[in-house]
Amino acid sequence: MVSRIDSSHRSSKLVIAGNRVETSGLVANDVTQDISGQTRDVLSQLDELLGKAGVGREGLMRVQIWLADMKHFDAMNEVYDAWVGAKLQPARACVGAQLATSDYLIEIQASAHR
């Protein structure tokens, strides 16, 4: 059975299939923030979605990060590293990419196991 949570006409923010959890790409709600603020915003959304799936950060298997400009890599990592902690890091990829609008500085997608 597949559960879809917070769905729109185009996608679901969260899909759960058995013990597998997938999020859609998450972008900042407040795009007036700098990369640190947008990163915190997106990671907060990710925490909320993981909670809806009944899993915490310890269940993360993979995190994919897209940055609008790789010059933000170090500042993003400062926030991300504090959020993910020193143990149980998921597999991760981070690339530079053109995002949907120039207001978005970061997009994050995650997979987890519960």
pLDDT (average), residues 45-56: 97
Interval 19-30: pLDDT, tens: 999 999 999 999
With tokens 């500042």, the residue in question is: 75
pLDDT, position 88: 87
pLDDT, position 84: 96
Q: What domains lie within the chain, and their CATH numbers?
A: 2-113 (3.30.1330.40)
Q: Are 37 and 75 in contact (CB under 8 A)?
A: no
Closest alpha carbon to 111 in 38, 10, 9, 18: 18
Q: Pairing relation of β-strands 91-96 and 26-27?
A: unpaired
* Residue % of the chain over a pLDDT of 90: 97
Question: To which H or E segment does residue 29 belong?
Answer: none
Q: Are 26 and 111 in contact (CB under 8 A)?
A: no
